[in-house]
Chain A
Amino acid sequence: MILVHMGQLAISMKPEDVLASLGLGSCVAVCAYDPAKKLAGMIHVVLPSKNNDKPAAPAKFADVGVPVLVEEMLQQGVLRARLKIAILGGANVLTSLAGNTSLDIGTRNVAAVRAALQKLGLPIIAHDVGGTYSRTVRLKVASGEVTLKTLRDGEVIAAKLGDHHGHG
């Protein structure tokens, strides 16, 4: 298993690999998959946008991280039109403190990820965002299957990015 920590980006073509972001609260995992090449990528977004020039982890910010993920995958020979995207996370775990809007980063993270993907013309084919609960997200390189684990429901299949949906 390849752990994708806060602000990190991981890409793999090894069928035995699983990319995972553990215990996402307001953070967002962006999963990208090319079913033809069986190439998987994941970023663990922490904040919506980069507002200064300080050095930062490649995928810490949605506005910078999403294009970097897509670019890195294109460099591996992925065709943009084949990329399947799923986004999960962006919860508001500390609901009652959310009156303090600076804490509602989950909602802002999801909006920023959506905007960045839209800018690149990439549709989101599956999502599980918002709510008040933490999530663990896993992406299997061999199949493109995305699983979602929560305290309440355990681990379930959230998306099958390996399916071709007849558009191939």
Chain B
Amino acid sequence: MTKNAVVQENSLDLLERVGQSGTDKAAESLSALSGKSIGGFFVHVTVLPIENVPVLMGDPEQTVVAAVLEATGDFSGCFMVVFPLQDAFRLIGILTGTEGKTIEDLGEMELSAISEVGNILASAYLTALDEISGILSQHSPPTVVVDMAAGILTSALLPLHEAGSDIISIEARFGDSSRESWGRMILVPNVEALPRLLKAVGKPKHG
């Protein structure tokens, strides 16, 4: 039996609702920020053993742009938004009108746009988590990192590795009428927080 067996079907149901609602909230905030109509498309949510993390974005060496935040409160741990480089450029393009291509095009403005996206997405999904499961948490300002996917992901997750814990990954796309950007929101509960989190989402507020 895998560790994932502890994630009951209804927990996944609830996590899906968190993913859906968080994506809607995020799209709304991104639209407000940019003054454009930005849609959010929730793809799916998965609970994964930590061993799968280096290949979570596909090629472990792939260049990604990540905003990493620390969450405190009922859900304590790490919240990460990760976009492959070209998806990050598309999202920046949607928000600012300027779309880069290579890593040299990631200037202060681009990184600050990703930082703002990190803020918005963390608030959106953590608010959704609170509304749906009653798990209330705050988050720190984001740190933006550009590097190989495996390096970033494992560095953020290793404090958990000792316990062989699981992580929650929400996939979503954000876009306007002409282009779309795909990314992953990764919730990394601290060792003590994951069982609490899964227990809480397994018990709906109004169930």
CB distance from A94 to the nearest CB of B (A): 5
Q: Is A93 within 8 A of B145, CB to CB? A: yes
Q: Is B54 within 8 A of A151, CB to CB? A: no
Q: Is B54 within 8 A of A134, CB to CB? A: no
Q: Is B154 within 8 A of A27, CB to CB? A: yes
Contact of A6 among B51, B146, B156, B162 (CB under 8 A): B51
Complex alpha-carbon distance, A92 and B156, angstroms: 10
CB of B148 within 8 Å of the partner chain: yes
Contact of B151 among A23, A46, A47, A105 (CB under 8 A): A23
- The A-contacting residues of B in range 74-99, CB under 8 angstroms, are none
4 closest Cβ contacts across the A-B interface?
A: A134-B151, A23-B150, A25-B151, A25-B155
Interface residues of A, Cβ cutoff 8 Å to B: 5-6, 22-27, 46-47, 51, 54, 91-97, 100, 102-103, 105-106, 133-136, 149, 151
Q: Contacts A6-B54, A96-B143; is A25 near B150 (CB within 8 Å)?
A: yes
Contact with A along B161-175 (1 / 0, CB 8 A): 110100000000000
Q: Is B150 within 8 A of A105, CB to CB? A: no
Q: Is B61 within 8 A of A94, CB to CB? A: no
Contact with A along B47-66 (1 / 0, CB 8 A): 00001001000001101000
CB distance from A96 to the nearest CB of B (A): 4
Chain B, interface residues (CB within 8 Å), range: 20 to 34
Complex alpha-carbon distance, A106 and B156, angstroms: 11
Complex alpha-carbon distance, A97 and B188, angstroms: 14
Q: Is B150 within 8 A of A22, CB to CB? A: yes
CB of B158 within 8 Å of the partner chain: yes
Q: Which residues of B contact A47 (CB under 8 A)?
A: 158, 161-162
CB of B68 within 8 Å of the partner chain: yes
- The A-contacting residues of B in range 129-188, CB under 8 angstroms, are 143, 145-156, 158-159, 161-162, 164
Complex alpha-carbon distance, A46 and B161, angstroms: 8
Contact of B155 among A22, A94, A96 (CB under 8 A): A94
Q: Name the residue of chain B whose CB is nearest to the CB of A52.
A: B162
Q: Is A25 within 8 A of B103, CB to CB? A: no
Complex alpha-carbon distance, A103 and B63, angstroms: 22
CB of B16 within 8 Å of the partner chain: no
Complex alpha-carbon distance, A100 and B145, angstroms: 17
Complex alpha-carbon distance, A102 and B77, angstroms: 12
Q: Is A25 within 8 A of B61, CB to CB? A: no
